[in-house]
Amino acid sequence: MKNKKSVLSIIAFLFFISTTTFSQSITNRVDSIVNYAMTKFNVAGVSIGIVKDGKIIHAKGYGVKSSKTKSPVDEHTNFAIASNSKAFTTAALALLVEEGKIKWDDKVKDHIPEFKMYNAYVTENFNIQDLLTHRSGLGLGIGDLMFFPDGSDFTIDDLLSSFQHFKPVSAFRTKFDYDNLLYVVAGELIKRVSGMTWEAFIKTRIFEPLQMENSYASLDKIKDQSNLATPHSSESEELQTLPNFQEMINGAAGGIYSNVDDICNWMLLHLNEGRYGTSLEKNLFTEDSQREMWKMHTVMEADRNPRYNPHFEGYGLGWGVSDKLGNMVVQHTGGLPGMLSQTVLIPDLELGIIILTNTSDDGAGLFSSVSQTIVDDFLGMDDFHWIDKYSAYFKQKKEGSDAVTEKVWEIAKNADESKINKDDYIGIYEDPWFGKVEVFKKEEQLWMKSHRSPKLIGTMHFYRANTFAIKWEYRQMNCDAFAMFTLDEEGIAQSIKMKGISPNIDFSFDFHDLNLSRVEEEQD
């Protein structure tokens, strides 16, 4: 008996040593990857978590929470995970499905009677899964201008009434176009069915069971912000700190703040088909619900990169699904001003990776290249030098975009304003879903401002013909825009169409979806 115990002790010790050695090897490798990436991308801080075979094998921070304080990032530092919040919303709905309170194919209007889409057929047939799968027929990011930039006064009633005014770009359920507003509707549906706000539901039904004790469903829930990362922009050569993005109506599309230590528990839950606990003795949701969330509901064109021999790509419920070398990949990214995130799960390898960063622009290059490098390692592939490739790509992309915008402002700078009568453009113009914008004159300079989104105010510079370039006072993201006027027979402006100036403008600045018409003359 003594010898048997000794043998078992030796086996346990050897297992411990091999596991410890493996984890240390992974940590050394990730350290090397991230440290190199941070020399190629201008990023303030990064945090990375990796789970493998049911265990957390890496959870660590790099860089700083703030370029001003220089306080270091650790595994408990909270970042905005942005659109990685969408998977929490779909999990919340799965719980309500399992409780029999809703069905996935329930009509949205049966739970939210005032919900109305762009035609009667779509309104009548729009179901809960349609809220989650980006197949509404509406265009990319449509309506996001109600919440980007933050600080607007739009309400859930405004949002629910907006969809009837949008123009579809494809047939219902035929094409993928990413949508945030419909996830906000999903959050409202959770509130009406459960009797709890989306934030309260996420906290009590997901965070608390999973012991995600330092995760928050909204920024205002974080009472102690001492370990909260500060958003940054790398648009200029020197990092600029940004204020935190203020929450919209609810956080169902992108409101969660979390850290890699907690998100590792979230990834393990999914890799274990909804089970959690020391011995996986508890279930948050069933394997059937897991399959439904990871089933391809909206088909997309597969990546053609022969390196991974891909066969399919699409969108499930809050997750993107694809394959690499025969392995299913489930992933999602997220982005807000100064905050970016990426989650990658490869169930066949029992592998999960979470990357959080507090820097826009260059942060996307970092999380993309670092995640692909780590995935390649676990797939046993050669080093493809992703970091160098992404660095070159992002540099070229920025140079191209900068060249376009610089040319626009050079033309505007040299334009002959004597060709126009500025008074002909002054007035109030209204869009059915965005409300009123005002063109006014201050010290002989034309300005434009939104009545409902106060950060959208800026100077108008004559460009060509009846077009002006608007330089917004809001500089947290690159969102300057063209305003193109139509005139009546007397030369008085009657309507405005808009579009972004930069080729790299974030899709959430959907100026092109506005249809502004003059409604009254300027008022004091």
Tokens of 458: 């800026």
CB-CB contact of 481 with 509 (8 Å): yes
The per-residue pLDDT for 12 is 44
The per-residue pLDDT for 22 is 54
Give the other-Cβ count within 10 Å of 215's Cβ: 26
Backbone φ, ψ for residue 413 (5° rounding): -65, -35
What residue ranges do the domains of the chain occupy? 39-137+172-384, 416-520
Pairwise CA distance, residues 388 & 396, whole Å: 12
Pairwise CA distance, residues 200 & 259, whole Å: 19
* Low-confidence residues of the chain: pLDDT under 70: 1-23, 521-524
What does DSSP say about strands 257-258 and 79-80: parallel, antiparallel, or unpaired? Answer: antiparallel
> Which residues in 407-452 belong to E strands, given as ranges?
427-431, 435-442, 445-450
Q: How far is CA 76 from CA 2, 229, 276, 434, in A?
A: 43, 10, 20, 39
The per-residue pLDDT for 21 is 58
Pairwise CA distance, residues 196 & 415, whole Å: 56
Pairwise CA distance, residues 495 & 501, whole Å: 19
What is the fold, at CATH topology level, of the domain defined by 39-137+172-384? Beta-lactamase (3.40.710)
Please give the full DSSP string across 31-77, using - where no structure is assigned. Answer: HHHHHHHHHHS--SEEEEEEEETTEEEEEEEEEBS-TTT-PBP-TT-
The per-residue pLDDT for 521 is 60
Residue 88's nearest CA partner among 190, 221, 220, 230 is 190
In 406-421, which positions are buried (b, 16+ CB within 10 angstroms) versus exposed (e)?
eebeeebeebeeeebe
Dihedral, CA atoms, 280, 285, 291, 297, nearest 10 degrees? -150
The per-residue pLDDT for 303 is 86
Q: What is the pLDDT of residues 483-514, one digit of tens each?
A: 999 999 999 999 999 999 999 999 999 999 99
Residues β-bridged to residue 62: 46
Residues β-bridged to residue 346: 351
Residues β-bridged to residue 61: 47
CATH of domain 416-520: 2.40.128.50
Rounded to 10°, the helix 2-40/362-378 angle is 150
Q: What is the pLDDT of residues 63-97, one digit of tens each?
A: 999 999 999 999 999 999 999 999 999 999 999 99
The per-residue pLDDT for 114 is 97
pTM to 2 decimal places: 0.93
The per-residue pLDDT for 11 is 45
